């Protein structure tokens, strides 16, 4: 009985030592021998996992690059199709789809404090904590920006300008308009210029589930 136990222990140690030796490698990136790899790596290709080269897709990757100029379903309103460097021209014709009221301005203030205040400051003078450290932050109360249209502000939020990075992926179109209205009405004190909503844009926005591109062919309510 004792010999049997000893033999079993001895064989177990030999197997354990053998597995340990064969599963190790001098290569620093080698993870060693994997037990039952089929439990972790499916035979079928998975889009979000790359266990081995894909022999079917171009580039040998599971995740394929979207076709050029395509837009994900439900994300059409995230893009206004205006060139990034053309914000002072076509952007002036963007329509404001929101009615200006206390709730919209309050929500715009909350969004401004979350995404803008650290650079532009609480009063929009470009003196936020980031603005104090890195120069070149726009003063939203300057004469040049006070005359800028609401669409221009919306477009800059979407695509960025100068040292400001694009925020189009962080705030959706409705939130961008709320921030723009807060900047124009409260920080710049131009409430009389933006107090009326473009009824056509509002109708499009409410009936499109956010999929319509809100771009005007004529003047806007901010002009």
Residues, the chain, total? 223
Backbone torsions φ then ψ of 161, nearest 5 degrees:
-165, 135
**Which one, of 95, 196, 106, 99, lies nearest residue 149 by Cα?**
95
Q: For the chain, give every domain's residue range.
A: 2-60, 76-208
pLDDT, average across residues 23-31: 66
User: 22: Cβ–Cβ under 8 A, 6 or more apart, which residues?
Assistant: 33
Side-chain half-sphere CA neighbours of 184 within 13 A: 26
- Per residue in 174-198, pLDDT tens? 999 999 999 999 999 876 445 445 5
More confident residue, 212 or 23: 23
> How confident is residue 216, by pLDDT bands cut at 50, 70 and 90?
very low
pLDDT for the residue 213 = 38
> What does DSSP assign to residue 94?
B
- Per residue in 54-102, pLDDT tens? 888 888 888 888 888 888 887 777 777 777 666 567 788 888 999 999 9
Q: Which CATH number fits domain 76-208: 1.10.760.10, 1.10.260.40, 3.40.50.300, 1.10.10.10?
A: 1.10.760.10
Q: Does the pLDDT value for residue 45 go beyond 80?
A: no
| SS3 of residue 158 by DSSP | helix
Q: What share of the chain is helix, strand, coil (3-state, %, to 5)?
A: 45, 0, 50
- Per residue in 105-151, pLDDT tens? 999 999 999 999 999 999 999 999 998 888 889 999 998 889 889 99
Please state, in angstroms and rounded to a whole number, the distance separating the CA atoms of residues 166 and 119.
Answer: 14
**Which one, of 127, 149, 157, 141, lies nearest residue 189 by Cα?**
141
More confident residue, 103 or 189: 103
More confident residue, 218 or 190: 190
Please state, in angstroms and rounded to a whole number, the distance separating the CA atoms of residues 221 and 223.
Answer: 6
């Amino acid at each position: 009985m004792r010999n049997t136990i000893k033999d079993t222990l001895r064989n177990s140690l030999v197997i354990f030592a053998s597995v340990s030796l064969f599963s190790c490698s001098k290569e620093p990136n080698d993870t060693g021998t994997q037990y039952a790899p089929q439990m972790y790596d499916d035979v079928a290709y998975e889009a979000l996992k790359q266990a081995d080269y894909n022999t079917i897709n171009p580039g040998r990757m599971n995740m394929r690059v979207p076709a050029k100029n395509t837009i994900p379903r439900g994300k059409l309103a995230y893009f206004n199709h205006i060139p990034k460097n053309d914000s002072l021209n076509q952007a002036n014709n963007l329509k404001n789809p929101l009615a200006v009221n206390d709730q919209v301005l309050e929500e715009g203030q909350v969004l401004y404090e979350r995404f803008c205040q650290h650079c532009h400051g609480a009063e929009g003078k470009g003196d936020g904590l980031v603005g104090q450290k890195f120069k070149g932050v726009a003063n939203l109360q300057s004469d040049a920006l006070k005359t800028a249209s609401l669409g221009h502000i919306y477009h800059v939020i979407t695509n960025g300008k100068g040292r400001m990075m694009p925020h189009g992926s962080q705030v959706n179109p409705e939130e961008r308009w709320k921030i723009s209205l807060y900047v124009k009405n409260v920080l710049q004190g131009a409430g009389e210029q933006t107090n009326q909503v473009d009824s056509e844009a509002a109708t499009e926005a409410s009936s499109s589930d956010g999929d319509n591109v809100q771009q005007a062919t004529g003047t806007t309510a901010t002009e």
